[in-house]
Amino acid sequence: MKMYSEILQALLPSPQGEGLGVRCFLILLFFSQFALSSEPDFTWTSPSRNSSESMPCGGGDIGLNVWVENGDMLFYVARSGAFDENNTLLKQGRIRIRLIPNPFINATDFRQTLKLNDGFVEISANGTTVQLWSDVFKPVIHVEIRSNKKIVSEIHYENWRYTDRLIRKNEGQQNSYKWAVPPGTQMTKDSVFATGNGVIFFHRNPQKTVFDVTVAQQVLESVKSELYNPISNLTSGGQLWGENLIFSGTARGIYAGTDFQSWIFKSKKAFTKQSVHIALEISQADNLYDWQNALNKTIAAINVNSDRKKSIDWWNKFWDRSFIQIEGEGANLSENYTLFRYMLGCNAHSNWPTRFNGGLFTFDPVFTDSTFKFTPDYRKWGGGTFTAQNQRLVYWSLLKSGDYDVMIPQFEFYNRILKNAELRSKVYWGHAGACFAEQLENFGLPNPSEYGWKRPEYFDKGVEYNAWLEYEWETVLEFCQMILETKSYSNADISKYKPLIESCLKFFDEHYRYLAQRRGRKTLDGDGKLILFPGSACETYKMANNPSSTIAALRTVLKSMGNDSLLKIIPEIPLRSLNGKTMISPAKTWERVNNTESPQLYPVFPWRIFGVGKDSLEIARNTYFYDPDVLKFSSHVGWKQDNIFAACLGLTDEAKRLNTSKLADGPYRFPAFWGPGFDWSPDHNWGGSGMIGLQEMLLQTTEDGKILLFPAWPREWNVHFKLHAPQNTTVEAELKNGKVKLISVLPESRKGDVKIVKN
């Protein structure tokens, strides 16, 4: 702050009032710039060694991994929805920028900065600056090079799909075939054409894809024409160009063990300013002419100055919605919370959800696992497969951060595939309701390899032949509840999603009556309740009878919907006593334990039936401290959510311990690149669960509308935060040296509902 005070003293008007008008204007300008810097820049002062030491950058639905290596600036280009015929999520290529004379080699003033507040990356050294940004409202990337002396450039577009590639052993994890890739399956090559001052590149899927294979496997041919299919004839790609560029030829190379071809463009003449642009287009165009026309429309609409202003304005408002700023010991947690939230913001305007297994920011897999010598398109757990238990953790935090627009792609995902889920119920069982599997393809059917290629003929065709995933249908209810809560948090119009929610609830009613009728005469038990058997408490307690996680989900969503008639037949959450302690049971009964989740604590989070401010707190705490499986499974790694449970139960020391581990720096240079955990790097359900845990330490709400501040917050941690709450409420508060200051509650009518929790 000393630097700022010195500047301010220089700007203050003299006692005689000399230069008063000009100086006052400069003071206002100074403070306006300072106010916009609400999120500090994140800076490296040395180049990187490889792509694992890249920095994220993006906006709209574009993600870029940016780094400088051996004097070259490089970045990967990723865009949501670029699925190939096998359902790999393709990178759009790698860009290499080489400046001559090279300012980055042996530079003593090197800086690579993520300008968080304005949403772009800047790299500078020796009087040369490169700024890289993505348009938030158009699928366009801009590179702006400035130098204090004349330089020339080489721009390389690098593509490893310049030829067909046979999918190797274990490489199938990147697509829908996973471990069961049909012999001879290939990643087919892209089309790339130099255009004089740029290059056009695209990947076009054939009409028949893994969708057709899945439909046949899952005996849905009779309704195939009615099924939503987002990948047939899908074309993804774009165009790179620059006014001062001329094509100079192609070359071959190897990066991180993968061979590639580069299309090289050089400056026509030396410059002090040069811009390079990349426009992207993804569509199921009937032909390439239509795809090119759509791309040309995007290019024609570019207005660099106004586009940049609008994008910066969006990021400024994004950061103003909410924040968590911790001083001292916990400062690292809030920094990583902020860096990860930036990564989520890069996919705000997408047609597709942010993927749990790397989002838009995966890098060469050999730097995550040295045995995976695959292309930059690789990630574990698929490219077009969305695992619901993992996806949910990416999205729950966005309610309290106020990022409702970032949630829409996830809601739209389920809405688009609703009909496919309903057709499953109709074809397999002859009843209504939407049956969503746990590992869903982007076309709404279960992942084919998880569904099972070697299924007994007698096995129920609507159920995955899979020890982990059978009968796991409840996770969609978390997204239903998120939708319902956006109405409370932001007055969102959710009418378009009501059929989705109603259909999901109807499935449980009709399907479990259907199953009961095949066992006996009655559809309900002796107490007039549904018998949720066979069920599954997450992937862990299998062949479960009345799993507590399913019951909590149904009771919560039905209550939120005001569906009292169906609520009456949902059983109570099962309890049990161990060593004299009453606690939540995973289910009424179960036959085996298959994974390491703790669904007996799901009634705490996400369902909030037990917790701080509730009579049931002791029962839930007993479950946390004394359930032998909960103790055995506890961890901070990956999708583990013990940090959230601890915070929701007001266990301050536990919440501090677990969230400190959860939000500690990841193993890569960019600290919010966690993982691989149980999934892949950068692990987004790791980051999402960390965001949720930190928020729950600061702010929780009760059923009667009370807002509880600092319910699990260590008093020795100074913090300033702004978060959102139900009833369209925003709270800004500060805890400093043990004293709480309530800065703002909007609307003011909610101020009386705020309660400070002393722990």
What string of H, E and C letters represents the secondary structure of 382-399? CCCEEEHHHHHHHHCHHH
Measured CA to CA, the distance from residue 291 to residue 630 in angstroms comes to 52
| CATH fold label, 42-308 | Beta-galactosidase; Chain A, domain 5 (2.70.98)
Write b or e for each residue in 719-751: b if 16 or more Cβ atoms lie within 10 A of its Cβ, otherwise e: bbbbbbbbeebbbbbebeeeeeeeeebeeeebe
**Residue 193 CB-half CA count within 13 A:** 8
271-296 per-position pLDDT tens digit? 999 999 999 999 999 999 999 999 99
What string of H, E and C letters represents the secondary structure of 157-176? EEECCCCCEECCCCHHHHCC
Evaluate if residue 1 carries a pLDDT over 90.
no
Q: Count other C-beta atoms under 10 Å from residue 427's C-beta.
A: 16
Farthest-apart Cα atoms in the chain, separation: 97
Strands 89-100 and 72-83: antiparallel
Strands 235-241 and 271-283: antiparallel
The pLDDT-based confidence of 31 (bands split at 50, 70, 90) is very low
Question: Are the beta carbons of 95 and 157 closer than 8 angstroms?
Answer: yes
- Looking at residue 758, its amino acid is K
Rg (the chain; Cα; Å) = 27
Q: Which residues are paired to 141 by β-bridges?
A: 134, 278
Per-residue pLDDT at 562:
97
Measured CA to CA, the distance from residue 54 to residue 114 in angstroms comes to 11
37-50 per-position pLDDT tens digit? 367 899 999 999 99
Evaluate if residue 15 carries a pLDDT over 70.
no
Nearest CA to 78 out of 267, 248, 238 is that of: 238
Could you tell me the CA-to-CA distances from 577 to 541, 544, 585, 622, 623 in Å, in that order?
18, 18, 9, 10, 10
Evaluate if residue 631 carries a pLDDT over 50.
yes
Q: Across all residues in the chain, what is the average pLDDT?
A: 95
Measured CA to CA, the distance from residue 174 to residue 165 in angstroms comes to 14
Burial (CB count <10 Å: 0-12, 13-18, 19+), residue 405? middle
- Is residue 550 classed as helix, strand or coil in its secondary structure? helix
Measured CA to CA, the distance from residue 51 to residue 362 in angstroms comes to 9
Q: Which residues are paired to 116 by β-bridges?
A: none
Dihedral sign, Cα of residue 407, residue 117, residue 666, residue 80 = positive
Measured CA to CA, the distance from residue 140 to residue 60 in angstroms comes to 9
Write b or e for each residue in 191-203: b if 16 or more Cβ atoms lie within 10 A of its Cβ, otherwise e: ebebeebbbbbbb
- Chain-centre distance for alpha carbon 372: 24
Measured CA to CA, the distance from residue 540 to residue 593 in angstroms comes to 5
Evaluate if residue 35 carries a pLDDT over 90.
no
Evaluate if residue 407 carries a pLDDT over 50.
yes
Evaluate if residue 17 carries a pLDDT over 60.
no
Per-residue pLDDT at 38:
62
Evaluate if residue 653 carries a pLDDT over 60.
yes
Question: Are the beta carbons of 682 and 58 closer than 8 angstroms?
Answer: no
Per-residue pLDDT at 29:
41
496-542 per-position pLDDT tens digit? 999 999 999 999 999 999 999 999 999 999 999 999 999 999 999 99
Evaluate if residue 24 carries a pLDDT over 80.
no
Per-residue pLDDT at 13:
43
- Chain-centre distance for alpha carbon 35: 28
Per-residue pLDDT at 129:
98
Per-residue pLDDT at 543:
98
What would the mean pLDDT of 212-219 be, rounded to a whole number?
Answer: 98
Q: Does a cis peptide bond (omega within 30 degrees of 0) precede residue 101? A: yes
Q: Which residues are paired to 122 by β-bridges?
A: 113, 131
Evaluate if residue 748 carries a pLDDT over 50.
yes
Q: Count other C-beta atoms under 10 Å from residue 96's C-beta.
A: 18
Measured CA to CA, the distance from residue 257 to residue 370 in angstroms comes to 10
317-340 per-position pLDDT tens digit? 999 999 999 999 999 999 999 999
Helix (H) or strand (E) holding 754, with range, is strand 754-756
DSSP 319-359: HHH-EEEE-GGGHHHHHHHHHHHHHHHTTTT-SSPPPTBTT
Write down the domain spans for the chain: 2-36, 42-308, 384-509, 634-759
Q: Report residue 194 as tokens.
A: 């130099």
Give Cβ neighbours of residue 310 (< 8 Å, ≥ 6 apart).
136, 137
546-564 per-position pLDDT tens digit? 999 999 999 999 999 999 9
694-722 per-position pLDDT tens digit? 999 999 999 999 999 999 999 999 999 99
The pLDDT-based confidence of 759 (bands split at 50, 70, 90) is confident
Measured CA to CA, the distance from residue 237 to residue 208 in angstroms comes to 19
Could you tell me the CA-to-CA distances from 257 to 159, 169, 375, 416, 678 in Å, in that order?
14, 16, 8, 39, 24
Nearest CA to 462 out of 426, 424, 511 is that of: 424
